[in-house]
């Protein structure tokens, strides 16, 4: 799905300023086909595995639940499964979280 130009530019910027939990996961899943900060429609997905239509979101404390629900519904309508993982879980044990993601 082609994203608007502004979304593509924002995704590019987010790739340069990833949070620590995102960096820790990216270091562990980058060689498994995932894309990071992937634009999808008007949204930017933390990690996306196109072949499985799988979105991984690393949720910090600032997440807006109403926004997340709208985005998850939008993705589900397009056949994309979303898995949400707490940033605190990543910080506590990034290897275990990465193993979980790779097992999906």
The 10s digit of each residue's pLDDT in 14-51 is 899 999 999 999 999 999 999 999 999 999 999 999 99
Taking the C-alpha atoms of residue 40 and residue 11, their distance in angstroms, rounded to an integer, is: 10
Taking the C-alpha atoms of residue 87 and residue 51, their distance in angstroms, rounded to an integer, is: 25
Q: The domain at 5-103 falls in which architecture?
A: 3-Layer(aba) Sandwich (3.40)
- Each domain of the chain, given as residue ranges in start order, spans 5-103
This prediction has a pTM of 0.91
62 pLDDT more than 80: no
- Residue 50: its pLDDT value, please? 97
- Residue 84: its pLDDT value, please? 96
């Amino acid at each position: 799905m082609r994203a608007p130009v502004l979304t593509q530019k924002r995704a590019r910027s987010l790739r340069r300023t990833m949070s620590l939990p995102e960096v820790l996961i990216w270091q562990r899943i980058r060689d498994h086909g995932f894309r990071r900060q992937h634009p999808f429609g008007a949204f930017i997905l933390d990690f996306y595995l196109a072949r499985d239509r799988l979105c991984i979101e690393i949720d910090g404390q600032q997440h807006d639940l109403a926004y997340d629900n709208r985005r998850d519904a939008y993705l589900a309508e397009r056949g994309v499964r979303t898995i949400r993982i707490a940033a605190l879980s990543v910080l506590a044990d990034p290897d275990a979280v990465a193993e979980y993601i790779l097992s999906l």
